[in-house]
Structure 1
Amino acid sequence: MKKKILFITTGGTIASSDSGDGLKPTVHAATMLEELGYTESYDFVISEPFQIDSSNMRPSDWNVLMESIRSHSEGCDGVVVLHGTDTMAYTASALSYMLLDFPLPVVITGSQKPIHAEGTDAIRNITCAIEAAATAPAPLVMIAFANHVMLGCHTSKVSADRLAAFHTLYGKDIGYFRKGQMHWYKKRIDKLLSARRSMPCCAITGKTFLLKLVPGISSDICDFFHGGSYQALVIEGFGSGGIPNRKTEFLNKLQKLVDEGMIVVCKTQCFYGKTDMSIYEVGRLAMDAGVISMSNITTEALVTKLMWLLSLDLSTEEIKEALATNYAGELVVI
Structure 2
Amino acid sequence: MLQLLVIFTGGTIGSRRSGEGIDVHASGSYALIDAYNNSGLHRSDVTLTAVQPLNLLSENLTPDDWIALATAIREADHSAYDGIVVTHGSDTLAYSAALLGYLFADAKLPVVLTASNYPLEDERSNGLRNFSCSIDFIADACLPGVFAVYEDDKGSPHVYIGTRITQAVSFTDQFGSPYGITYGRMEQGRFQWHDHPHNPMPESLRSASKAGLEWEPGTLKLEDGIVYIKPYPGLNYSYYDFSERRPKAVLHDLHHSGTASAIRKGPYSLPQFIADCRALDIDVYICPIKDRSAALYASSLRLIEAGAVILENMSMEAAVTKLMLAYGFYSDRAEAEAFMTGTSVYFERNEVRHAD
- What is the RMSD computed on CA atoms of the aligned residues? 2.5
For 1:253 and 1:168, locate their aligned partners in 2 and report how far apart those are by CA, in whole Å: 30
Correspondence for 2:258 among 221, 237, 240: 240
Supply the AA of the counterpart residue of 1:181.
Answer: R
Corresponding residue of 2:34? 34
Q: Confirm or deny: 8 A CA contact 1:29 1:46 kept in the other structure.
A: no
1:79 CA displacement: 0.5
Q: Show the 5 A alignment for 1:202-241.
A: 203-207=220-224, 208-223=226-241, 225-228=242-245, 230-238=247-255, 239-241=257-259
Q: Confirm or deny: 8 A CA contact 2:164 2:177 kept in the other structure.
A: yes
1:171 CA displacement: 6.5
For 1:193 and 1:241, locate their aligned partners in 2 and report how far apart those are by CA, in whole Å: 37
Supply the AA of the counterpart residue of 1:140.
Answer: G
Higher deviation after alignment, 252-261 or 292-301: 252-261
Q: Show the 5 A alignment for 1:152-301.
A: 152-160=162-170, 162=172, 165-170=174-179, 172-185=181-194, 188-191=201-204, 197-201=211-215, 203-207=220-224, 208-223=226-241, 225-228=242-245, 230-238=247-255, 239-249=257-267, 250=269, 251-268=271-288, 274=290, 276=292, 279-301=296-318
Supply the AA of the counterpart residue of 2:283.
Answer: I
Supply the AA of the counterpart residue of 2:114.
Answer: T
Change over 3 Å in CA distance of 1:159–1:217 after alignment to 2: closer
1:252 CA displacement: 2.6
Change over 3 Å in CA distance of 1:117–1:143 after alignment to 2: same
SS state at 2:30 partner: helix
Say whether 1:151 aligns with 2:165: no
For 2:237 and 2:223, locate their aligned partners in 1 and report how far apart those are by CA, in whole Å: 24
1:229 CA displacement: 5.2
Corresponding residue of 1:107? 112
Change over 3 Å in CA distance of 1:152–1:247 after alignment to 2: same
Q: Confirm or deny: 8 A CA contact 1:113 1:122 kept in the other structure.
A: yes
Higher deviation after alignment, 228-237 or 148-157: 228-237
Supply the AA of the counterpart residue of 2:75.
Answer: S
1:24 CA displacement: 0.4
Q: Show the 5 A alignment for 1:17-96.
A: 17-20=16-19, 22-26=21-25, 27-37=27-37, 38=42, 40-74=44-78, 75-96=80-101
1:282 CA displacement: 1.9
| TM-score, normalised with respect to structure 1 | 0.89
Say whether 1:14 aligns with 2:27: no
For 1:193 and 1:204, locate their aligned partners in 2 and report how far apart those are by CA, in whole Å: 28
1:20 CA displacement: 2.6
Q: Show the 5 A alignment for 1:122-137.
A: 122-137=127-142
Higher deviation after alignment, 139-148 or 32-41: 32-41
SS state at 1:157 partner: coil
Unaligned segments of structure 1, at least 5 residues: none
| TM-score, normalised with respect to structure 2 | 0.84
Q: Confirm or deny: 8 A CA contact 2:278 2:307 kept in the other structure.
A: yes
Please give the per-residue CA displacement for 1:237-270, whole angstroms capped at 9, x wherever unaligned.
Answer: 23313333255254233213224332211124xx
Q: Confirm or deny: 8 A CA contact 1:155 1:168 kept in the other structure.
A: yes
Once the two structures are aligned, what percentage of the paired residues are identical?
26
Q: Confirm or deny: 8 A CA contact 2:90 2:168 kept in the other structure.
A: no
Higher deviation after alignment, 67-76 or 321-330: 67-76
